[in-house]
Amino acid sequence: MSDFDSIYAHKPVIQIGVSSCLLGEKVRYDGGHKQNAYIIQTLGKYFEFKSFCPEMSIGLGVPRETLRIIETSSGHRCVRVIDSSFDVTDQLTQLADEQRHWPSGLCGYVFKKGSPSCGIGGGKLYRGEHISLDAVGVFAKR
Ligand code: SF4
């Protein structure tokens, strides 16, 4: 055990929220995951994880149609790629509001990069035919 490990062995539990797919849970649109070994094996030694998947929590299920962020006259909206009339922006925002008490028990979050729900930066923003990489996931933004 390293000095760092031994220090943390006696610390109280530090709980952080983590996008479920990064923990290996099969919650992605295609039934897959994005398991991240660093989070599980290294951060897992020092933190307790509270798993969350906003898209599953609003009932989209697996498998599901993919979502994306588009720019509209009423702001950025999270919609289905194949049908922009299927808009889950309000549901994701409401879910984040319902989980507003979470941060009082958590010391931070690890969000899945680029997700239209979880990404805190670098997500694709569609403006008609133009795509930029400055979208923020609706849940993460809230
Ligand atoms: S909504 Fe978040 S947790 Fe769920 S699959 Fe997408 S990135 Fe992962």
Which whole number is the average pLDDT over 102-124? 92
Give the Cα separation of 105 and 87 in Å (integer).
30
**Model confidence pLDDT, tens digit, residues 29-39:** 999 999 999 99
Give distance in angstroms: CA of 118 to centre of ligand 1. 6
Fill in the amino acid letter for 30. D
Average pLDDT of the chain, as a whole number? 93
pLDDT computed for residue 90 by the predictor: 98
Residue 109's nearest CA partner among 40, 39, 17, 44 is 17
pLDDT for residue 142 is more than 90: yes
Contacts of 93 (CB under 8 A, 6+ apart): 138, 139, 142
From 16, 18, 21, 23, give the residue whose CB has the most ligand 1 atoms within 8 Å, as the site to mutate.
Answer: 21
For 1, the 3-state DSSP assignment is: coil
Q: What's the distance, CA 1 to chain centroid?
A: 32
The domains of the chain are located at 3-141
Q: Is the CB of 57 under 6 A from ligand 1?
A: no
